[in-house]
Amino acid sequence: MIDPSQPDFLARLMTHRWSLAVLSELRRTGGAKFVTLAHRLKVPRASLSSALKHLAALDLVTRNPGYGHPLRPEYLLTETGVQVADLARHILRTVPDAETRETLLKKWSLPIVLAVGRNGKRFMELRESLAPITPRALTLGLKDMEGRRWVARTVVKTYPPSPIYTLQPPGLKTLPTLEQINALTTADLRFET
């Protein structure tokens, strides 16, 4: 049985900052040409190319096969890509402002929310579940999420004192969608290791 709280796939998906935006746009339009995607998302060509290759490797996006009308889309979502794109659109729609969206699109932000989960976790538990994250990346990600009030840090009065990270309302609101993405893709996709 796959544990949807393990952020394996979500961390792989978020390796590229533009993954959620590309999936969302492809879902909204039913497919698109490279130039159209770059223009609509205001993404540098190299970044978009890298994101599309990454999403193709995860079997979420495919190139449109064959020849046809000049306006036919170059990139389409796969069957699993459609499901992940619906969830990506949901996440992007629920984010209230551009600054928070920028924070969430960083590589480790959403995997941290998923790893913290409903019950909260200590730093070392988060580090273990998010391997290969570095301590510095985890610290910066937690500070970003604390600053946006998605995660709270509480120091438990034990010896030695230890902080526990818990989700706040925005994080709790997004958690079910992140669990769906992770469960769906972990069960259905082939991973390159």
Write the CATH number for 153: 1.10.10.10
- The number of distinct structural domains making up the chain is 1
Query: In terms of Cα–Cα distance, which of 97, 35, 107, 25 is closest to 61?
Result: 25
User: In this structure, is residue 68 part of a structural domain?
Assistant: yes
Q: For residue 177, what is the enclosing H or E element?
A: helix 169-188
pLDDT score at 13: 85
Domain with 55 in it: 8-188
Q: Is 42 exposed, middle or buried (0-12, 13-18, 19+ CB in 10 A)?
A: exposed
User: In this structure, is residue 3 part of a structural domain?
Assistant: no
User: In this structure, is residue 2 part of a structural domain?
Assistant: no
Mean pLDDT across the stretch 152-158?
A: 90
Asked whether the beta carbons of 2 and 186 are under 8 A apart, the reply is: yes
User: In this structure, is residue 193 part of a structural domain?
Assistant: no
Share above pLDDT 70 across residues of the chain, in percent, rounded to a whole number: 88
pLDDT score at 70: 65
User: In this structure, is residue 113 part of a structural domain?
Assistant: yes
User: In this structure, is residue 139 part of a structural domain?
Assistant: yes
Per-residue confidence at 3, pLDDT binned at 50, 70, 90? very low
Query: In terms of Cα–Cα distance, which of 140, 183, 146 is closest to 164?
Result: 146
| Interval 177-187: pLDDT, tens | 888 887 765 55
**Does 48 score more than 90 pLDDT?**
yes
User: In this structure, is residue 1 part of a structural domain?
Assistant: no
pLDDT score at 15: 84
| Interval 90-129: pLDDT, tens | 888 877 677 777 888 888 888 999 999 988 899 999 999 8
**Does 4 score more than 60 pLDDT?**
no
Q: Which residue has the higher pLDDT, 5 or 147?
A: 147
Per-residue confidence at 60, pLDDT binned at 50, 70, 90? very high
Q: What is the pTM of this model?
A: 0.76
